[in-house]
Amino acid sequence: MRPVDTPTVVNPLREGLGAERTPDPCTMVIFGASGDLTRRKLLPALYNLALDGLLPDKFSIAGFARSDMTVEQFREQALESVRQFSRRPVDPKSWDRFARGLFYASAGSLKTDDFHRLAELMARVHRERDTGGNRVFYLSVPPSAYSGIVEGLGASGLAARERSGSGWTRVIVEKPFGRDLDTARELNQELAQVFAEEQVYRIDHFLGKETVQNILVFRFANGIFEPIWNRRYIDHVQITAAESLGIEGRAGYYEEAGALRDMVQNHMLQVLSLVGMEPPIAFEARAVRDEKVKVLRAIRPLLGEDVARYTARGQYGPGWVDGREVPGYRQEPNVDPASTTETFAALKLYVDNWRWAEVPFYLRTGKRLPKQTTEVAIHFKRAPLLLFRDMVDPTPLESNVLAMRIQPNEGITLKFHAKVPGISVRIRSVNMDFLYGASFAVEPPEAYETLILDCLLGDSTLFARRDEIEAAWSLVTDVLNGWRELPSPVFPNYEAGSWGPREAQDLMARDGRRWRRP
Ligand code: BG6
């Protein structure tokens, strides 16, 4: 998250928002340079940063992957990816400038020799582009390859800790970061043997979303919400990440992951920590992450019978989504026809601290739900409605809700009650709406743009720290263990295009509440 500098160029739309800083010259080494993530996200993000003049002149990318390719072929492939996935069209002049900074070497099977080849490539890039010795290693590879790469970087001296005058070194690690608490700890340990914690950037792309960052701005840049942001005024919180998409051909990964690992351990718990945290003493990495991790640690563990009582899981069967007939999860290509992987998860959590004692946080996420929508809904306690008991139309008054829409339709809605115009007093719920699109006529950057730039600037505020990852895994691992001990669920238990399994509705109904229809 970049601090605000004094503006140098005045664009009326951004007036007062501050100019951006430019990182030091550096080389980004991408492991897995011919993979899907690099093509869809990394190269387009880097190109868009270049287009906005946010990368240093000498910025270079050293692609390193198994495919045998020449530099020219890599540049050609990169152009194709950017054409296909960039949020803005390719401008030939900017592309030429960007492409001059693209280099490539084949990674082989990541043996010692391969790291020597990488060292040679980096030395060449450094000579030709004068990158000041600064480098970022981006691990855009399947998690099974992390250990070997980290070890290789250590053994080859490429990850050497920062020494004065030799430039800085950072590493970006993609998700999934482990598959339970033990494996996450192991990976953290392996990283710690080669890198200092300040050099490690664990990416969670949700933190790069404008609307997720805005949770902090909304809470801490306004005076009127913080005083009511606690158990005295808030009845409960609902965090929903609904997707209408299925698993999009990612069976190999998803069968092993499931909704809890794929969405809850990282994205949803990160959002929860931003909603629940105390005001940090400063807007910088350490202070913000100190407060976030306190929230994660304060979540009451789900153990024993609580797992069945406070969680629900589901798997979609065939159905209709967006007017299209879609297969069930078990019928997706490469999915085990008897798979018990969950494609839906709902949890009720308590954050056991003074601010949130006894305020439930309900989380739900699922694939093949009726629509694509991610939101945080703060449900306030009801007013004592004695005065208006008989004047409500058409149904009893609901409580006030503040809904922060993360995506799409980014914005914030406050639901409150108003008098229906007329001689008699009739009351109805109305919405007060803020829409990003209408208020700021600028297209927001992609999450990866924000995060990559932050890493190049050395700002890790929006990256998960070691203790955050472990606290989140600790909670999720308890649930995974609890699920393993319960009788096998009868899957599929929700139809594609519905709002998830009955169990998720029951979870709410037991508390006399229901899920909000986003
Ligand atoms: C990814 C998950 O981390 O996040 C995907 O692996 C999921 O399964 C995606 O679809 C959701 O991200 P976004 O930005 O599309 O909401």
pLDDT-derived band of residue 391, with 50, 70 and 90 as boundaries?
low
Distance 455 CA to ligand 1 centre (A): 21
Tokens of 336: 């085990």
The average confidence (pLDDT) of the chain is 91
Mode of pairing for the β-strands spanning 494-495 and 316-317: parallel
Are 490 and 330 in contact, with CB atoms under 8 Å apart? no
Cβ neighbours of 120 (radius 10 Å): 11
- 336 Cα–ligand 1 center, Å: 22
pLDDT at 6: 38
Q: Which residue's CA lies nearest to atom 13 of ligand 1?
A: 206
Helix or strand holding residue 246 (H, E): none
Pair 64, 33: CB distance under 8 Å: yes
174: Cβ below 6 Å to ligand 1? no
pLDDT in tens, 274-315: 999 999 999 999 999 999 999 999 999 999 999 999 999 999
Distance of CA 313 to the CA centre of its chain: 21
- Among all chains, which residue has been given the structure tokens 């308890």? 478
Report whether 66 contacts 30 (CB < 8 A): no
d(CA 278, CA 216) in angstroms, rounded, equals 10
Q: What percent of the chain has pLDDT over 70?
A: 93
| CB 468 less than 6 A from any atom of ligand 1 | no
Confidence of residue 163 (pLDDT cuts 50, 70, 90): low
Higher pLDDT, 355 or 113: 355
Instruction: Output the furthest CA–CA distance in the chain (Å, rounded).
Output: 85
* CA–centroid distance for 386 within its chain: 43
Which residues have a catalytic role annotated? 267
CA distances from 353 to 215, 230, 299, 304 (A): 20, 10, 9, 22
Asked if residue 375 has its Cβ within 6 Å of ligand 1, the reply is no
Structure confidence at residue 166 as a pLDDT band (50, 70, 90): confident
> How far apart are the C-alpha atoms of 243 and 316, rounded to whole Å?
12
Which of left, alpha, beta for 381 (phi over 0: left; psi -120 to 50: alpha)?
beta
What does the alpha-carbon distance between residue 28 and residue 121 come to, in Å, rounded to a whole number?
12
pTM of the model: 0.93
Report whether pLDDT(17) > 50. no
200: β partners: 171
Q: Whose CA is nearest to atom 4 of ligand 1?
A: 263
The reply to whether omega before 408 is within 30° of 0 (cis) is: yes
Q: For residue 254, which atom of ligand 1 is closest to its CA?
A: 8
Q: Alpha-carbon distance 127 to 133, whole Å?
A: 10
Whether residue 104 contacts residue 61, with contact meaning beta carbons closer than 8 Å, is answered with no
The answer, yes or no, to whether residue 392 has pLDDT greater than 80, is no
Phi-psi region of 258 (alpha: psi -120 to 50; beta: other; left: phi over 0): left
pLDDT at 501: 98
Over 80: is that where the pLDDT of 455 sits? yes
Instruction: Return the beta strands (E) in 229-343 as ranges.
Output: 234-242, 311-314, 316-317, 319-321, 324-326
Please give the pLDDT value at position 386: 64
Give the amino acid at 134.
N
Please give the Cα distance from 68 to 107 (Å, whole number): 8
Which amino acid, residue 38?
A: T
Reference 272, options 303, 251, 301, 297; nearest CA is 297
pLDDT digits (tens, 9 = 90+) for 311-365: 999 999 999 999 999 999 999 999 999 999 999 999 999 999 999 999 999 999 9
Please indicate whether residue 262, judged by its CB atom, sits closer than 6 Å to ligand 1: yes
pLDDT for position 15: 44
Specify the ligand 1 atom closest to the Cα of 247: 8
% of the chain at pLDDT higher than 90: 79
Which of 55, 58, 63 has the alpha carbon at shortest distance from 130? 58
3-state secondary structure 18-64: CCCCCCCCCEEEEECCCCHHHHHHHHHHHHHHHHCCCCCCCCEEEEE
Q: Which helix (H) or strand (E) holds 231?
A: none
CA of 241 to the centre of ligand 1 (A): 9
Cα(348)–Cα(306) distance, integer angstroms? 10
**Of the residues 85, 140, 204, 205, which should be mutated to test ligand 1's pocket, given the most ligand atoms within 8 Å of the CB?**
205
Measure the CA–CA gap between 186 and 191, rounded to whole angstroms.
9
| Vertex 175 angle, CA 21 and 285, to 5° | 40
Query: How buried is 113 (Cβ within 10 angstroms: 0-12 exposed, 13-18 middle, 19+ buried)?
Result: exposed
CA 165 – CA 319 distance, rounded (Å): 61
**CA 432, CA 12: separation in Å to the nearest integer?**
26
Bridge partners of 380, per DSSP, are 234
Q: CB under 8 Å to 179, separation ≥6 — which residues?
A: 143, 256, 257, 261
Q: Is 221 exposed, middle or buried (0-12, 13-18, 19+ CB in 10 A)?
A: exposed
Cα–Cα nearest to 115, from 186, 29, 196: 29
Residue 411 identity: G
Residue type, 511: D
